[in-house]
């Protein structure tokens, strides 16, 4: 078995990090992403963008992984033990998969606990607040190491190569609204993979999945993992 798992904000929702879309309180209903999550927004008002990501970084540092993250880490270890494998690709910029014990996580939208130099591109760990005074060794301005609207997601070659090798595709806690991640299920189907969706409610791509399980990730993911490991 070679699983390809894509996670989104729904997997971290019960850790208190909030989601971007969907029913209920959502980040992009309260804030305008065009003012906070684009390269143009950072050029126009870097202090405002830093303030937004500083608050999210503080929340993340105070948060903890939940049962869904822990189950996925257990799945990685359990599959490896019996010679199977999985690729975990996340749209999330938090480190809750890693804190739960996942060894290999591909962060296609970057990582909140890293900063990148806007001039030389160097990436470094960052747990502190960033401001317009935050500088790289080369004197370039530091920005959050996250992918903004209009920027290309990271590791795309590696991700498509993993999709080619996979025999099953599973999307967990993602609304299917943001490309290219929202297009992975179509790629997977075209390659004949069985596709499963785990989400609180049907995503925008729900019709493309062969199997759909709805409910809270902290409940559905652990039971699904047990089923896979029992096979």
Q: Where on the chain is the footprint of ligand OAD (CB under 6 A)?
A: 8-10, 13-14, 19-22, 37, 91, 109, 147, 173-175, 177-178, 199-201, 203, 216-217
User: Of 97, 107, 109, 145, which one is the catalytic site residue?
Assistant: 109
* For ligand OAD, the closer CB: 37 or 193: 37
* For ligand OAD, the closer CB: 22 or 46: 22
Find all residues with CB under 8 Å of 62, minimum gap 6, and list them.
Answer: none
* For ligand OAD, the closer CB: 54 or 85: 54
**DSSP 8-state assignment for residue 42:** H
For 106, 156, 159, 163, 227, the CA distances from 187, given in Å and listed in that order, are: 18, 13, 11, 8, 25
To ligand OAD, the closest distance from the beta carbon of 86 in angstroms equals: 19
Q: CA-to-CA distance for 170 and 7, rounded, in angstroms? A: 8
To ligand OAD, the closest distance from the beta carbon of 157 in angstroms equals: 19
To ligand OAD, the closest distance from the beta carbon of 149 in angstroms equals: 6
Expressed in angstroms, the distance from the first to the final Cα of the chain is: 10
To ligand OAD, the closest distance from the beta carbon of 78 in angstroms equals: 22
* For ligand OAD, the closer CB: 85 or 213: 213
Find all residues with CB under 8 Å of 24, minimum gap 6, and list them.
Answer: none
Q: CA-to-CA distance for 225 and 74, rounded, in angstroms? A: 8
Find out whether 203 and 176 touch, Cβ atoms under 8 Å: yes
| 69 classed as catalytic | no
* For ligand OAD, the closer CB: 19 or 41: 19
Q: CA-to-CA distance for 53 and 129, rounded, in angstroms? A: 9
To ligand OAD, the closest distance from the beta carbon of 229 in angstroms equals: 20
In DSSP notation, 89-153 reads EE---S-HHHHHT-S-EEETTEEEEEEEETTT--EEE--SPP-TT-B-TTSPBEEEEEPPTTSPP
Q: Catalytic residue positions?
A: 109
């Amino acid at each position: 078995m070679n699983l390809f798992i894509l996670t989104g904000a729904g997997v971290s929702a019960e850790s208190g990090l909030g989601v971007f879309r969907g029913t209920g309180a959502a980040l992009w209903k309260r804030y305008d992403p065009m003012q906070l999550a684009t390269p143009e927004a950072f050029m126009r008002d870097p202090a405002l963008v830093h303030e937004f990501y500083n608050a999210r970084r503080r929340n993340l540092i105070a948060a903890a992984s939940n049962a869904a993250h822990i189950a996925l880490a257990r799945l990685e270890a359990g599959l490896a033990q019996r010679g199977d494998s999985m690729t975990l690709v996340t749209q999330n910029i938090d480190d809750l998969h890693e804190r739960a014990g996942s060894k290999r996580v591909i962060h296609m939208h970057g990582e909140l606990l890293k900063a990148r130099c806007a001039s030389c591109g160097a990436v470094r760990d960052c747990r502190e607040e960033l401001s317009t005074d935050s500088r790289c060794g080369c004197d370039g301005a530091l920005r959050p190491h996250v992918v903004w609207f209009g920027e290309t997601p990271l590791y795309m070659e590696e991700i498509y190569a993993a999709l080619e090798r996979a025999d099953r595709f599973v999307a967990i806690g993602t609304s299917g609204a943001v490309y290219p991640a929202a297009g992975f299920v179509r790629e997977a189907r075209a390659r004949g993979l069985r596709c499963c969706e785990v989400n609180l409610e049907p995503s925008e791509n729900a019709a493309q999945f062969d199997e759909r399980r709805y409910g809270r990730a902290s409940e559905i993911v652990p039971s699904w993992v047990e089923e896979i490991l029992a096979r």
